[in-house]
Amino acid sequence: AIAVALAQAGAHIVANYLDEDAAASGMRTLSKLGARVTWVKADLTDTTQIAHLFAQADAQGGVDILVNNAAIFPRADFLDLTEAMWDQTLAVNLKAPFLCTQQAARRMIAQGRGGSIINITSGAAFRSSPKAAHYVSSKAGLVGLTRASAMALAAHRIRVNAVAPGITDTAQPRQGMSEDEIHAAADQVPLGRIASASDIAPIVQFLASAGAAHVTGQTWHVNGGQYLA
């Protein structure tokens, strides 16, 4: 949905993927729109593959927008959480956005026209869970990275913001929740439902646009009022 929203706004998308089925679905959707898309399969825990991903963006005219959206969430009780699981989660959810932000920012500075970086964090950064110490830590760290990099890059007219969805109707919550639990979570949302990907994408599109030219270092909550109660 994010790639679709940006493509509809005229962006040439360089889309990273690991899952072949998801990529095939995305290809069909974006091709129907006539979008300009370059698909790259890269493991974002591997610096060589990150460099290859950005080289593809260079070949398409440079980088003006970066959306850091890759994440994993293997559920585990705190006392059962292994060092390997901790390291992998922090590598994908926090280290990879840091490395990608560096790569994008260097290009944006060289291009001299500023840019926008959007990090997809999570409501979990602000509300904890007994099976999510590693995930919560990574997403809270991403909020910190957003603020720190926004300060560091503001002089170059590079804006860095975060979007923090609440529970969203994607495959991710279904890796640890039953449909009944998801429905119960929806009942706790003041607006009466969990988010969809189409609720998140327009916020990302706005933050990437000239309309958000004076917005940086902020975290935008998209959770249907979940924290009001």
Catalytic residues: 135
Tokens of 86: 């901790």
Strand, coil or helix: what is 216?
Answer: coil
User: Where are the alpha helices (H) located in 12-171, listed in sequence order?
Assistant: 20-32, 47-59, 83-90, 96-111, 133-153
Q: How far is CA 36 from CA 16, 23, 120, in A?
A: 14, 15, 23
The H or E element spanning position 185 is helix 179-187
* Residues 58 and 14 sit within 8 Å (Cβ to Cβ): no
Distance between CA atoms of residues 163 and 142, nearest Å: 10
Distance between CA atoms of residues 187 and 182, nearest Å: 9
